Chains A and B, each alone.
Chain A
Amino acid sequence: MDVLVVGGGFAATAVMQRLLSAESTLRGAWIWAGAGASELSSGAFEAPTLDGSLPAASRSQLAAFAKVVGWSLTPKNARVATLGGLLREVSARDTAVLDLAPLNAAKVGVVNLGSRWECSAEWLVASYNESAWAKSQSLEFVVLQGEQWLSAEERGLPALLLALRLQQPDHPVTASLNAACAEAGCSAALLPPCVGDSPGAWQAFAERVRLPVGQTLSEVGGLAGLRFERARDELSATAKGLGWDVYSVRLERLTPQAGGFEARFSDGRTLACRAVVLCTGGIAGGGIVMNEEGGQLAPSFEYASAGVGQPLLAWQSVQRFQVASESGFDVSVGGVRGLEAVGFGEGIAAQPGVFIAGDCIADQPRLGLVAALSGVRAAERVLAFLGGGVTR
């Protein structure tokens, strides 16, 4: 086995996308256990202080991955509307989340479906219209009353089931939304966060409405995470088709041995591999559970370094911020910021053959796009590390 990829979030999926697209035939395994921060993502990525744009080189590195997961990297300084009433800048987004930036001097309808998944459309409109950015763009938000577009039963449905209903081509929402926008003079519409169960599903709806439509940025556990999961699962099916082993287990022990490592999993299986990519998330992601052992922080799985190389760099950032221990988190030391100080890595090799990507390194705030970028770069390092010795 050439490589073991551990993790099922943005970083690991980016690693897999890059490895699978390489012009070499790798043999490997991809494992993950449970849902992490990526699945719980709300679907918009990066903060505006990242200069509002992704460097061109990074954009190019991420393009193929973004296509797989249904993210839009094209717009610079995209603006999305949050369910908290904010219009915020992002560098990339899940494509079901409407980008407001191209809508100059437009009237945008905020739809009140009367479903249990939304808050007051009137309040959102007031909040969005208060935004200095909206004023500078001459954007005006208005309420579109759409309670009657859903049946009483539909208004009480869970978000996923409602999304499936709205995706039905003949659902009355399609025609009603189009007509309401025309009547109100709206050239785009924002819906509650209950749309699109998979990448592309919502775009099909938007095409039927014949207007830019999308959802607000939702709360934790919204459908954006599900859309990502669907994309990842499709990629895992592709990996299986190419001969990769894909299974849901937890890594319990990683032991260096001649020519690589032996990995032991929670189901008792072992696997020998030449390289390992750890994309197990940070403190938030839950991939590496930190335990205090003799004052040292160690990952939840056993890692036998055999005296080679340095301890995983992930620990240093965690120690610096005093984020996690079995007894909890001391806010007086780390502050609230420390909670989110989980950071990202860019394929840093802690030891020859061990590569780390995603949130589990360094001290930066958690960023989905950066995690994915680190995955692409880690995959490139893996390919370089394995060189011509890839199993064929």
Chain B
Amino acid sequence: MGSDENAEYDVAVIGGGVNGTGVARDCALRGLKVVLFERNDLAFGASGNSSGMIHGGPRYLTMDPDVTYTSCLDSGHIQKIAPHLLFRVPFILPVNKGRGSRNELDLLDAFFDVYDKYQPLKGGKPHVRLRGDEVRSLEPGLAGDLEGGVTFDEYGVDGVRLCVANALDAAGHGAQVLVPASVTSIQANQKGCTLGYQLRQGSSVTGGRVSAKRVVNATGAWAPLTASFAQLPKDAARVRPGKGIHIYLDRRISNYAVMVKAIDGRRVFMEPWQNTTVIGTTDDDYYGDLDNVFATRDEAQYLMQALSGVFPTLKQARPVGTWSGVRPTLFEWGKTEDELSREHTIVDHAPHGAPGLYSMLGGKLASYRLFAEEMSDTLCQSLGHSARCRTSSSVLPGGEPALSVQELASRAGLEPLAASRILYRHGARAERILERIERTPADAEVVCICEPVTLAEVREVIESEWATDVDAVSRRTRLGLGPCGGMRCAQRCGQVVAQETGRSPAEGRELAAEFLRRGLKHRLPVLGPKQVRQEAIALGHHRAQLGLAPGGNGDFEGGSKWTS
């Protein structure tokens, strides 16, 4: 799909994260003509690699109470517009007996008394102070002599699905969504803006230019790079990139999220998230390649150390991977990472010589909709467009009443688990997948056993959700992110992507191999020696199947020679 070069867009959005897709949706709903460019994939950056929570941010209450307020307020809105994607995550914050433990519990109790005032904004229950035995009866897996604890409510979300839903709605209201498309130049002056871009379709790259009255740089941690395409001063769109990693396990080990202190006193957590357990997160200044962010073993050990002491049965589960993202935190000098504000801001680059160009900096998943509304208000005001924001009440695609798990399972001939996962990801749009299966029963084939993901869903995300490679299919469906790490499904998925996107079988094999190579880098920091061995065996077989040398392309190039 290409852009309409002759058309002048009202707004060009650069960035397919939650802010970019949120603005594109908001503007499209207001009737503006919108084009969105995403260089890698929707939710490729922080949006798809966050803690997966629309949380109210109790951590910010002491430093940024406004952030807590806006997060809770928007969490309430997001629950209404994407009910299929949000799930309640009850937290326990345990306190072990020790010197000052009673005081600590009193302080926590008082702190959450304040946080309770924000809970009604997001439909959360007020906190409860618990005795040690009550905490343990709720979660017997907790170790130590417990003084007590408090509970509080947050909500989980699949950040990728949230981005996709926003992009789908934007497109449904006339926006052009171009993925993967890199903006290569931005010219902004009083007459308007012109963007040069390159759109990748399979192995071919086509260039183009579009005109837009306004341009939004919503590229998160890439914001300074994007701003440089408009020749802006170096600090015109400055952020302080902060790397955060998460570990995920092969199963849910608790129905409660548990928040504990790490070795340095930072709060880290373990949460039941979809069909896994997620442990997070770190926060470290990041100076590396934003397109290749991977967890290190040190970071993984820091998290495992913090949680395994408090929740020893964690060690009985199997860490199967990590995800890593870079927060586009607002730039400040002289503060630790945790002290940095999670506020967001809009920068008008007119004073930098680029009228019509704006940068969205900072922010968080929980308040993306509000941030997008503020940005869209600014755009509409500057364009003299009077339409009002509808994103807090207009339901996202899939958020309408959907089939029941039983009905979908029965009509599609799927296991209830497979049906429930489809319904979580797609909500009412699961009917599109059902229609595919009814049209072509063979598409009920389960491609990824771990998640599980059907062939029909793979085809759906390729055809309707801008997925162009195995990695993108995985991002949207969680294909290949289970215990086997894609060893069972990457090859098949590569075939389907190649078929659906008109690429050759050889390109399909390379897509699969690339997914396995990249996935391995995300998995290795948390794999134990036995898992590494298993991984090596499976990789060896994939080399044989796909014809690839380890770590490179080609047909077993660089292999061994006989020595006798």
Query: Which residues of A line the B interface, CB within 8 A?
Result: 37, 40, 42, 44, 47-51, 54-55, 57-58, 82-86, 88, 116, 119-120, 123, 126-127, 130, 217, 219-220, 283-286, 289-290, 323-331, 335-337, 339-340, 342, 346, 364-367, 370
Residues of B within 8 A of A365 (CB): 540, 550, 559-560
Q: Which B residues touch A286, using CB under 8 A?
A: 530, 533
A47-B556, A55-B564, A130-B506 are known contacts; what are 16 more A-B pairs with Cβ within 8 Å?
Answer: A47-B560, A49-B561, A57-B564, A82-B544, A88-B547, A123-B505, A127-B495, A219-B541, A283-B532, A328-B532, A331-B520, A331-B521, A339-B535, A339-B536, A339-B550, A366-B540
Q: Could you tell me if A48 and B556 are in contact, using CB atoms closer than 8 angstroms?
A: yes
Complex partner residue of B537 from A37, A120, A217, A346, CB under 8 angstroms = A37
Beyond A57-B564, A84-B491, whether A330 also contacts B297 by CB under 8 A is: yes
* Min C-beta distance of A101 to chain B, whole Å: 16
Most buried by B among A50, A130, A220: A220
Q: Return 14 A-B CB contacts under 8 Å, by A number.
A: A37-B537, A47-B556, A50-B562, A83-B491, A123-B499, A127-B495, A130-B504, A283-B529, A283-B536, A324-B532, A335-B551, A339-B535, A339-B539, A365-B560
**Bound-complex Cα distance A367 to B543 (A):** 12
Given the interface contacts A55-B562, A366-B540, does A85 sit within 8 Å of B529 by beta carbon?
A: no
Scan residues 294-317 of chain B and give those whose CB is less than 8 A from a CB of chain A: 297, 301
Contact call A283/B558, Cβ cutoff below 8 A: no
Among residues of A, the one whose C-beta sits closest to the C-beta of B542 is A84
Q: Is the CB of B560 within 8 A of A329?
A: no
Q: Do A340 and B540 have beta carbons less than 8 Å apart?
A: yes
Taken together as a complex, chains A and B put the C-alpha atoms of A335 and B536 apart, in Å, by 12
- Chain B proximity of A352: nearest CB distance (Å): 23
Give the secondary structure class of A's interface.
loop
Asked whether A328 lies within 8 Å of B561 as measured between CB atoms, the reply is no
Q: Which of B297, B504, B564 contacts A328 (CB 8 A)?
A: B297
Interface residues on B, range: 35 or more
Closest 4 CB pairs of A and B: A127-B505, A84-B545, A49-B559, A284-B536
With CB as the reference atom, state the residue of chain B lying closest to A129.
B505
Chain A residue, CB-CB nearest to B301: A327
Cβ proximity bits B503-537 to A, threshold 8 Å, 1 near / 0 not: 01110110010000100110011111110110111
Task: Tell me whether A331 and B524 are in contact (CB under 8 A).
Answer: yes
Contact between B559 and A42, CB atoms less than 8 A apart: no
Query: Given A330-B297, A340-B540 in contact, is the A47-B532 Cβ separation under 8 Å?
Result: no
- Contact yes or no, B564 A58, CB < 8 A: yes
Select A37's contact among B508, B521, B540, B562, beta carbons within 8 Å.
Answer: B540
Inter-chain CA distance A107–B547, complex, in Å, is 23
Which of chain B's residues have a CB closer than 8 A to the CB of A337?
A: 550-551
**A84 touching B297 in the complex, CB below 8 Å, given contacts A48-B556, A219-B488:** no
| Residues on the A chain within 8 Å of B537, using CB | 37, 40, 220, 284-285
Q: Say yes or no: is B463 at the interface (Cβ < 8 Å to chain A).
A: no
Q: What CA separation (Å) do A335 and B268 show in the bound complex?
A: 30
Would you call B555 and A342 a contact (CB within 8 A)?
no
- Point out the residues of chain A lying under 8 angstroms from B533, CB to CB: 283-286, 324
Q: Which residue of A lies closest to B556 (CB)?
A: A47
Is the beta-carbon distance between B556 and A284 smaller than 8 angstroms? no
Inter-chain contacts of B491 with A (CB < 8 A): 83-84, 119, 219
| Cβ of B444 to closest chain A Cβ, rounded Å | 11
B68-104 vs A: 1/0 string, CB under 8 Å?
Answer: 0000000000000000000000000000000000000
In the bound complex, residues from chain B placing their C-beta under 8 Å from that of A119 are: 491-492, 495
Residues of chain A contacted by B550 (CB below 8 angstroms)? 335-337, 339-340, 365
B556–A120 touching, CB < 8 Å: no
Closest-by-CB residue of A relative to B543 is A340
Cα A111 to Cα B124 in complex, Å, equals 57
Report how far A50 CA is from B297 CA in the complex, Å.
36
B405 sits at the interface (CB 8 A): no
> CB distance A327 to B297 under 8 Å?
yes
Instruction: Say whether B546 faces chain A, with CB atoms less than 8 Å apart.
Output: yes
On whether the beta carbons of A324 and B556 are closer than 8 Å, the reply is no
Minimum CB–CB distance for A190 against chain B, Å: 14
Q: How far is the CA of A385 from the CA of B236 in the complex (A)?
A: 77
Beyond A51-B562, A58-B564, A328-B526, whether A336 also contacts B297 by CB under 8 A is no
Nearest residue (CB) in B for A328 is: B527
Q: B538 on the interface (CB 8 Å rule)?
A: yes
Chain A residues positioned under 8 Å from B520 (CB to CB): 331, 336, 339
- Rounded to whole Å, the gap between the CB of A127 and the closest CB of chain B is 3
CB distance from B146 to the nearest CB of A (A): 30
Write out the residue numbers on chain A whose beta carbons fall within 8 Å of the beta carbon of B528. Answer: 326, 328
Taking a contact as CB atoms closer than 8 A, the residue among A50, A55, A130, A217 that contacts B560 in the complex is A50
B258 within 8 A of A: no
Min Cβ gap A188→B in Å is: 20
**A204, B540: Cα distance in complex, Å:** 30
Which B residues lie within 8 Å of A130 (CB)?
504-506
| Contacting pair A48 B561 (CB below 8 A) | no
Contacts of B521 in A (CB 8 A): 331
Closest chain A CB from B552 CB (angstroms)? 8
* CB-based contact A126/B527 at 8 Å: no
Task: Please name all residues of chain A whose beta carbon is closer than 8 Å to the beta carbon of B532 when the two chains form the complex.
Answer: 283, 323-324, 328-329, 339
Tell me, yes or no, whether B360 is within 8 Å of chain A by CB.
no
Could you tell me the distance in whole angstroms from the C-beta of A113 to the nearest C-beta in chain B? 13
Asked if B557 is at the interface (CB within 8 A of a chain A CB), the reply is yes
* Contacting residue for B555 out of A88, A329, A340, A346, CB 8 A: A88
Contact A328 B539 (CB under 8 A): no
CB nearest to B561 among chain A residues? A50
Closest-CB distance, B196 to chain A (whole angstroms): 35
Q: Of residues B506, B541, B542, which shows the largest number of chain A Cβ atoms within 10 Å of its Cβ?
A: B541
* Among B491, B520, B545, B564: residue with most chain A CB under 10 A: B545
Given contacts A50-B560, A365-B559, contact A44 B544 (CB under 8 A): yes
Q: Which residue of B lies closest to A323 (CB)?
A: B532
- What is the bound-complex CA distance between A95 and B547, given in angstroms? 20
Q: Which chain B residues border A327 with CB–CB below 8 Å?
A: 297, 301
Decide yes or no whether B487 CB sits under 8 A from chain A. yes
Within 8 A of A (CB), among B467-493: 487-488, 491-492
Q: Are A325 and B529 in contact (CB under 8 A)?
A: yes
A58 contacts which of B558, B559, B562 (Cβ < 8 Å)?
B562
CB distance A83 to B526 under 8 Å?
Answer: no
Residue numbers in B under 8 Å from A328 (CB-CB): 297, 524-529, 532
Which B residues lie within 8 Å of A346 (CB)? 564
Q: How far is the CB of A129 from chain B (nearest CB, A)?
A: 9
B536, A342: Cβ atoms closer than 8 Å: yes
Q: Which interface residue of B508, B528, B540, B564 has the most chain A CB atoms within 10 A?
A: B540
